[in-house]
Structure 1
Amino acid sequence: MTDQLWSSQRHRTAIGRVGLSAPARQAVIDLQLQPGMQLLDYGCGRGGDVRALQAMGLDVSGWDPVHHPDGELKPAEIVLLSYVLNVIEDPAERRQTLLDAWNTAKSTLVVSVRLRWERNQIKGTEYGDGILTSRNTFQHLFGASELRDYVQETTGVRCLSAAPGIVYAFKSDEARLGYLARQVTSEAGWLASQDTASAIAAIVDHFEQRGRLPSLEELPHPIIGLLGHLRTSELKRLAEQSADPLKVEEGAKRTTLDTLLFLAVELFHGRGPASSLPLPVQLDIRAFFPSYAEACKRADRLLFKLRDDAYVRRAMTGSVAGKFTATALYVHRRAVHRIPTVLRLYEQCASIAAGRPAEWSVVKLRHQGRGASWLDYPSFDTDPHPRLASSYSVDLQTLKSSFLSYADSANRPLLHRKHEFLAPDDPDVPKYQRLTDAEVRAGLYEEPHLIGNEEGWERALARCGRVLRGHRLARRPDS
């Protein structure tokens, strides 16, 4: 691998970097890069990710044919292949490079590329299956779903889209399903424990959150040490006496639905035997379903319902969270767990198909056709009418994705009635609701088709003689 010649000026594409790249940051967030793991940045360029990850205390090395040819190129648990495939103009060599990186990974390969929507940022002419730039560098741009298919076909394993342009390929089903479970199911952390009483409190909290008592294999070692003197029957009695029965019942319902969601997503991506599932999921199935087969049947029915337009529309109209319109349901990210399970499955399937962006505030789920958009309103919590920064969309029928940035727009779309995007019991709803009510009384919503962007909204405020002071509507001084 170290003798391989790179024919174009690929080294010119390597940029100096301060801090982590997007794929390395995503892998850290997704717990793919952790202390104790051996990491290799394959094609590390100038080594920015290597230095940043080393500064975080991780065991990471880097290799690059030009910038770091003397780097140690040996198998590692996690291998990063960041923005390498883009710059290889020979399709056969591109595929071989992916295979080389895959064969170097012991556990997981993290592949990232530039995507087609970045074409307007690259100046050059068409060449082969990409673009030849004036600097004699090459860029092959991928579609988001195309990348996952390409990595799957080359490695021969099922892969998951972590974000647009970032794909994880796992050596084992256990690793893949462990990652998937973390993404799909709600996992509460263990309460800190210093003595027997606080350790029992942690057991009770798990019982209420998950609806079942934990098994010994699930317990953190500090808790095992603190409770080792108690018999299992005694610990069960103490937990059942202390737990709130209503919270336990709600926890059981939540875990049952989360398990169905996980199994449905797993089928969407290929389902394995029960023994390949993460231990907590296996225990959830044992606690809340007659059998694994029955749980799978119920999950299959859930996935089938996703194809039913009428069923999906009824789920949207009946959702306690989100804003329902003539074309879609809009839900804030902190309320997604409150929408019906079939709609959570809808969003998860879209994410698997093309990746969910790291930055988003509101998800839009279409009921006319099948497609999802993740909308980023960075100032949602502070701006009474937050401006749209970007939109990433995937069509589930064609698997085509698109990205729109409004960063340079002088007339950005904005939101009204913020409370409608949240769950009714969200603590910010009363404040947002009061503002909406005041705006309605002032006549600001009399022509809703004219106030969807910044300029239209400013004209409406001027027409009604109003000005915003945070989340409070006031009269204009000159009105």
Structure 2
Amino acid sequence: MQQSWNSDRRRTAIGRASLSVPARQALADRQLDAGRTILDYGCGRGGDVVSLQRLACNITGWDPYFSSSSSVAPSDVVLLTYVLNVIEDPVERRQTLKEAWRLAGSVLIVSARLTWDRSKVSGQEYGDGLLTSRQTFQHLFSPNELRAYVEEVTGTRCITAAPGIVYAFKDDSARLDYLAHRIVPDANWLASADTASAIASLVDYVERRGRPPRVDEMPRPMAVQLAHLKPGELKRLVHDSVDAERVSAGAKRTTLNTLLFLAVELFNGRGPFSSLPLGLQLDVRSFFTSYKEACQRSDRLLLKLRDDAYVRGAMNASCVGKITPTALYVHRRAVDRMPAVLRLYEHCASIVAGRPQAWTIAKLKHQGRAVGWLDYPEFNKDPHPRITTSYVADLKSLETSHMSYANSANRPLLHRKHEFLAPDDPDVPRYRRLTESELRAGLYENPHLIGTEDGWEAELIRCGRMLRGHRLVRRHEA
């Protein structure tokens, strides 16, 4: 990474008091396990290196300006964090990515600043980017451009973990393991300190997954605790303890999750049965007559996703979410309760464009295929939460758009919060009572006025009401 043209790359390195967004995402996605070696290639001032070392990660950092004496050796995980942006020479940019890929033993994690940061970068056009007044260079990527670029250079199928964060796996089985982690809920095990608690944990697993685990799926300490029991005896103990209705519900849930995985896998290129993670292989054997049958059912689900009438019917039949003339809006706590075709709709968009780290409500359009992730950070506290960001991915054009409302003086806000949640959500009664109070007070008589902060406040004043938390009171009670 030698300096060329007129850019001073050292000035782009910032001091970090906390982990960068890409490092937090990688931690959440379990890519930075303590047992893996990690290289932060182009680490800048080393903020992520220090923070990850405190988390017991085996990480080293190298930077041509700040850590040039550090050794650069192949590592299980290589982080290339906001490096490609600052390289003004396209040839060198590509070479840097190639070298990072060569050094990665398991996964390369590439992150870059995105085009929606353009308003934060002042400068003049220079090459394929901007040269700032501080003599630093920025090439801003769109999310789709970054993924396509990494795929082209590495020659492998990549997954967008979040907007501006791309994972390139050296081993396709690792990619599928990650994909399964995103789609199929973790098979968490209850603590098992003795035989009795180990059996209770096994019963819990069977009820949630719908099938018994194989020994090599169990945590090792638990397998040891149960090793003295004969298989027939263990099977009887579990059979006598499980709730049959829960097992049936677990089997149905696992079947749908498997179909979703196979559908999304086709989106990236479906492999043979042997390429599936072990847990999914066992799910296929338990709930389908064959891998071929599972794939055929998954393909039919994908075809249904193309049918506007079918998708609209699924939205109308959904037991969760608020439907409008243009879209279905569902809180993130309820997205897994949507019909399978709608879950697939949202998952496909997340694989293409990356699901943002911060979001509250998913918006699924009726016509065309576009998913938006809307962030209302005060949803739980604010009776009428204000939007802060919107990120939309179009599945047909593969284009994305981002909007920030941080500096907006009159932000859109939500009403009828209970409608975005599942009916059995514990917050629904409280939210519904507020909506009913607002209806009785006449606050929804002019729906075209109440969609923004100013309009809503004006209607509150007109009706002589104000809010105290999730209670509506008369203004003279203040």
For residues 176 and 272 of structure 2, the distance between their equivalents in structure 1, rounded to whole angstroms, comes to: 11
CA drift at 1:282: 0.4
The equivalent of 2:275 in structure 1 is 276
* CA distance, structure 2, for counterparts of residue 418 and residue 11 of structure 1: 47
Instruction: Tell me which amino acid in the other structure corresponds to 2:156.
Output: V
Deviation string 1:372-410 (CA, Å, 9 cap, x unpaired) is 110000010111101101111111121111111111111
The Cα offsets for residues 322-358 of structure 1, whole Å up to 9 and x where unpaired, read as 0010000000001000001111111111111111100
Q: What is residue 62 of structure 1 aligned with on the other side?
A: 61
1:203 aligns with 2:197: no
Residue identity matched to 1:279: L
What SS does the corresponding residue of 2:113 show, helix, strand or coil? coil
Equivalence for 1:352: 351
Report the count of equivalent residues: 476
Secondary structure at the aligned position of 2:448 is classed as helix
Write the distance in 2 (CA, Å) between the matches of 1:397 and 1:209: 35
User: Within 5 Å, which residues of 2 pair with 1:222-371?
Assistant: 222-371=221-370
For residues 44-443 of structure 1, the aligned pairs below 5 Å read 44-443=43-442
> Which amino acid in the other structure matches residue 116 of structure 2?
W
Write out per-residue CA displacement over residues 418-461 of structure 1, whole angstroms, 9 at most, x where no aligned residue.
00000101111011011101111110001111000100000111
Measure, in 1, the Cα distance between the counterparts of 2:274 and 2:359. Answer: 35
Structure-1-length-normalised TM-score: 0.98
| Structure 2 CA distance for aligned equivalents of residues 38 and 188 of structure 1 | 26
Compare 367-376 and 469-478 and name the one that shifted more: 469-478
Correspondence for 1:6 among 3, 8, 15: 3
Task: State the AA in 1 paired with 2:229.
Answer: L
2:334 is paired with a residue whose SS is helix
CA distance in 1, matches of 2:269, 2:477: 64
Structure 1 residue identity aligned to 2:27: V
CA RMSD of aligned residues (A): 0.9
Distance in 1, matches of 2:283 and 2:416, equals 39
User: Is 1:18 matched with 2:7?
Assistant: no
SS of the counterpart of 1:18?
A: coil
Return the alpha-carbon distance in structure 2 between the equivalents of residues 206 and 27 of structure 1: 27
1:28 maps to amino acid: L
In structure 1, C-alpha distance between the alignment counterparts of 2:70 and 2:415, rounded to whole Å: 54
Distance 1:199 1:75 in 2: 40
> Take 1:195 and 1:187, find their aligned partners in 2: how far apart are those partners?
23
- Secondary structure of 1:125's partner? strand
Cα deviation digits, residues 137-179 of structure 1 (max 9, x gap): 1111111011111111110111000000000000111100000
Structure 1 gap segments, 5+ residues each? none
Q: Could you list the per-position Cα deviations for residues 13-50 of structure 1 after superposition, in whole angstroms to 9, with x for gaps in the alignment? A: 10111110000010001100011110000000010100
Distance 1:348 1:375 in 2: 15
In 1, Cα distance between equivalents of 2:187 and 2:457: 44
Q: Secondary structure at the match of 2:391?
A: strand
Moved over 4 A (4+): none
More moved, 269-278 vs 160-169 = 269-278
Cα deviation, residue 187, structure 1: 2.0
Deviations 1:244-279, CA, capped at 9 Å, x for gaps: 000000000000000000000000111111111111
Secondary structure at 1:448's aligned position in 2? coil
Q: Deviations over 1:82-124 (max 9, x none)?
A: 0000111111111111010000000000000000111111010
Aligned partners of 1:264 and 1:237: how far apart in 2? Answer: 36
What is the CA-CA distance between 1:134 and the residue it aligns to?
1.1
TM-score by length of 2: 0.98
- What's the CA shift for 1:188? 3.6
Work out whether 1:477 is the aligned partner of 2:438: no
2:239, 2:407 → 1: CA distance? Answer: 58
CA distance in 2, matches of 1:478, 1:356: 44
Deviation at 1:186, TM superposition (A): 1.8
Farther-moved stretch of structure 1 (249-258 vs 347-356): 347-356
Shift of 1:6: 2.6
CA distance in 2, matches of 1:395, 1:260: 23
SS at match of 1:78: strand
Q: Deviations over 1:289-313 (max 9, x none)?
A: 0011110111011111111100110
Distance (Å, rounded) in 1 between the aligned partners of 2:208 and 2:9: 51
Identity of aligned residues (%): 65
In 1, Cα distance between equivalents of 2:254 and 2:475: 51
Q: Secondary structure at the match of 2:175?
A: helix
Q: Secondary structure at the match of 1:372?
A: strand
Mapped to 1, the partners of 2:477 and 2:270 lie a distance apart of: 66
Segment drifting more, 60-69 vs 393-402: 393-402
Structure 2 Cα separation of the partners of residues 92 and 52 of structure 1: 32
**How far does the alpha carbon of each residue in 1:29-76 deviate from its partner, in whole angstroms, 9 at most, with x for none?**
110001111000000001010001011111100000111101120000
Code of the aligned partner of 1:393: V
**What is the alpha-carbon distance in structure 2 between the residues aligned to residue 379 and residue 127 of structure 1?**
41
Matches within 5 A, 1:432-471: 432-471=431-470
Distance in 2 (alpha carbons) for counterparts of 1:185 and 1:319: 21
SS at match of 2:118: helix
DSSP 3-state at the match of 1:331: strand
- Displacement of 1:478 in angstroms is 7.1
Instruction: State the AA in 2 paired with 1:431.
Output: R
Unmatched 5+ residue regions in structure 2? Answer: none
What are the superposed Cα offsets for residues 159-209 of structure 1, whole Å, 9 maximum, x if unpaired?
Answer: 000000000000111100000001011224100001111000011000000
Amino acid at match of 2:50: R
